[in-house]
Structure 1
Amino acid sequence: SPESDGVVFTGRLSQEAQPWLAGHAVRGSVLLPGTAFVELALAAGAQAGCELLDDLALEAPLVLPERGGVAFQITVGEDAGGSRTFALHTRDEGGAGAWTRHATGLLTTAAPVPSENLAVWPPAGAEPLPVDGLYEALAEAGFGYGPAFQGLTAAWRDGDDLYAEITPPEGTVVESTAAEGFGLHPALFDACLHVFGLVSDGESARVPFAWSSVVLHAWGASALRVRLTPSADGDGMALEVADAQGAPVLSVGSLVL
């Protein structure tokens, strides 16, 4: 085991077992999306009695091989006043080679209260952003999103605030999210961030590498409403995700791209 104290969760990741993962390709390599790291951390935290993901830092990309898979371990540290450190490591599923650390962070028990819901929709006074051709443009920039990830169907801008509407693409695995046991399916969660591709002024898309104050309010949502606002710390964006009725699904205090 990479780290011994506390609780250890183990599993396996492969394109064969979760074919939708192949739909997150960056410059030709299939990478585990940052949103999947968040989902794994929240799941481990829930099991350990710490529902708030206080902090998550991605340290190394996790490349998923075309054939076979990788073994992963999430090590959750001992309870220290309601907080627990964690780390996620992987190695080749054959057991050969060293463990690679991909992410570290902190889980805690103090859950923030969700902010206002997103019942008023579309957002009043916001300017619509055209979404046609987004995924083709991202593919040209080296970000190949498969069908399950192509959930962004509408977007708006109001000053520094961005809004997005996510619809599960027909015929894809994300249409049956709740049955698969995800808190928020990583492909749908990832689509919440694609609105950045509409306002990046021609830059290539960026991927998140640091997350803070992440809490899941409701399990298994599929159609989503999203609001992104500059975070209080000024370094990133705060994220509110709601369901089709505007009820809170997930909050992120800050994510840094």
Structure 2
Amino acid sequence: MRRDRDEVREFLTGLARLTVRGVAVSWEPLTAGGRRVELPTYAFQRERYWLEVPSAVGDVTTAGLAPSEHPLLGAIMRRADVDGVVFTGRWSLRTHPWLGEHRVGSSVVFPGTGFVELLVRAGDEVGCGRIEELTQETPLVVPEHGALQLQVVVGAPEEPGLRGVAVYSRVEDADEDVPWTRHASGLLSHSEASPGFELAQWPPAGAEALDVDNLYQRLADAGLVYGERFQGLKAGWIKGENIYAEIRLPEHAVAEAEQYALHPAVLDAALQSSGLNDSPEMQATAYVPFSWSGVSLFAVGASVLRVCVRHVARDRVS
């Protein structure tokens, strides 16, 4: 019993707590005339009905800029010193809440797949459809409060047909003398590749199913905490050295994916599939991508993927 609380409610609450802890309680005197029913054994399904309201972007042309038409990049400006461009953006967990669904430990860390998205958009602007290389140098941590300013700087053409690119950020309310941090750099090229794969038969004939049920709990135990958008890996198979996987964004994020070349959460889930057949020792370690090469995109706005992944080294996949 508790002072100043309803005795019947407190008594029944105590009985309920005993019940869920395995103590046998006779409920018949309380529920005379009632009947016992079974609770459903499936996991309760949660469905969001909140409207995803994008952050408003003003008329950037009044500042001598052009709209970038990309959710992570607010504006674009042609450089005056060389034949290059600068993209600018502003991020926060309020304007881009999906960023908060990618955490390493207790920090919100911009995913490596996000840098791929930024370079793909930058390459489109200068006619470079391929990322020859991309290396992350410093993690881009998104603050829990406040906002970040972002710049993606594309340099002049180099030989043979390459352009350098780099990604910088700075806390919005930082002092003017605080320098920008370079998080990633790379090279863009004009190379026009063609798809070297075909996944029309699904799943591939002879592929054996892999268990994906405990994947996200294992990742969380290893320090990678994914929100709903980043938990897109729905099924996996293995055939020879290839791992196949199906990726699907939650229904409320499908329209969001159409605004991106390839939503970072979708590509991240594709990379997660590379660990489905790892040994228990490997599964206990959290891996995040930091280096890329030979990236080409052939279709945009996808919310469902069929994936083929192959390990080419202990810590490298294609």
The question of a shared fold, defined as TM-score above 0.5 by the shorter chain, is answered with yes
Superposition pairs for residues 83-102 of structure 1, below 5 Å?
A: 83-96=162-175, 97-102=178-183
- The match for 1:51 is 129
Count residues with an aligned counterpart. Answer: 232
Q: Note if 1:82 corresponds to 2:149.
A: no
Secondary structure at 2:307's aligned position in 1? strand
Structural RMSD (CA) = 1.9
- The match for 1:158 is 239
- Whole-Å Cα distance in 2 between the matches of residues 116 and 230 of structure 1? 16
Query: Percent identity at matched positions?
Result: 47
Deviations 1:54-109 (A, max 9, x none): 10001110000011121111111101242101111111112532111110100001
Secondary structure at 2:275's aligned position in 1? helix
User: How far did 1:125 drift?
Assistant: 1.2
Residues 95 and 8 from structure 1, CA distance in 2 versus in 1: closer, same or farther, beyond 3 angstroms? farther
1:169 counterpart (246, 250, 265):
250
Q: Note if 1:222 corresponds to 2:222.
A: no
Equivalent residues of 1:196, 1:205 under 8 A apart = no
Higher strand share: 1
User: How far did 1:17 drift?
Assistant: 0.9
Q: Note if 1:195 corresponds to 2:273.
A: yes
- Whole-Å Cα distance in 1 between the matches of residues 208 and 114 of structure 2? 31
Deviations 1:129-162 (A, max 9, x none): 0111211121111110001111000001122211
User: How far did 1:234 drift?
Assistant: 9.1
- The match for 2:115 is 37
Superposition pairs for residues 233-248 of structure 1, below 5 Å?
A: 236-238=316-318
- Whole-Å Cα distance in 2 between the matches of residues 219 and 75 of structure 1? 23
Q: Note if 1:210 corresponds to 2:291.
A: yes
- Whole-Å Cα distance in 1 between the matches of residues 174 and 106 of structure 2? 26
Residues 27 and 235 from structure 1, CA distance in 2 versus in 1: closer, same or farther, beyond 3 angstroms? closer
Higher RCO, 1 or 2 (CA under 8 Å, sep at least 6)? 1
Secondary structure at 2:187's aligned position in 1? strand
Equivalent residues of 1:177, 1:221 under 8 A apart = no
- Whole-Å Cα distance in 2 between the matches of residues 32 and 123 of structure 1? 33
Equivalent residues of 2:119, 2:131 under 8 A apart = yes
Deviations 1:218-244 (A, max 9, x none): 11111110001245x997221xxxxxx
Q: Note if 1:68 corresponds to 2:68.
A: no
Amino acid at match of 1:112: A
Amino acid at match of 2:307: V
User: How far did 1:192 drift?
Assistant: 0.5
State the TM-score, normalized to the length of structure 2.
0.69
- The match for 2:189 is 108
Q: Note if 1:8 corresponds to 2:86.
A: yes
State the TM-score, normalized to the length of structure 1.
0.85
Structure 2 spans left out of the alignment, 5+ residues: 1-78
Amino acid at match of 2:140: L
Residues 113 and 21 from structure 1, CA distance in 2 versus in 1: closer, same or farther, beyond 3 angstroms? same
Equivalent residues of 2:99, 2:108 under 8 A apart = yes
User: How far did 1:195 drift?
Assistant: 1.5
Higher CA-based Rg: 2
Equivalent residues of 2:273, 2:309 under 8 A apart = no
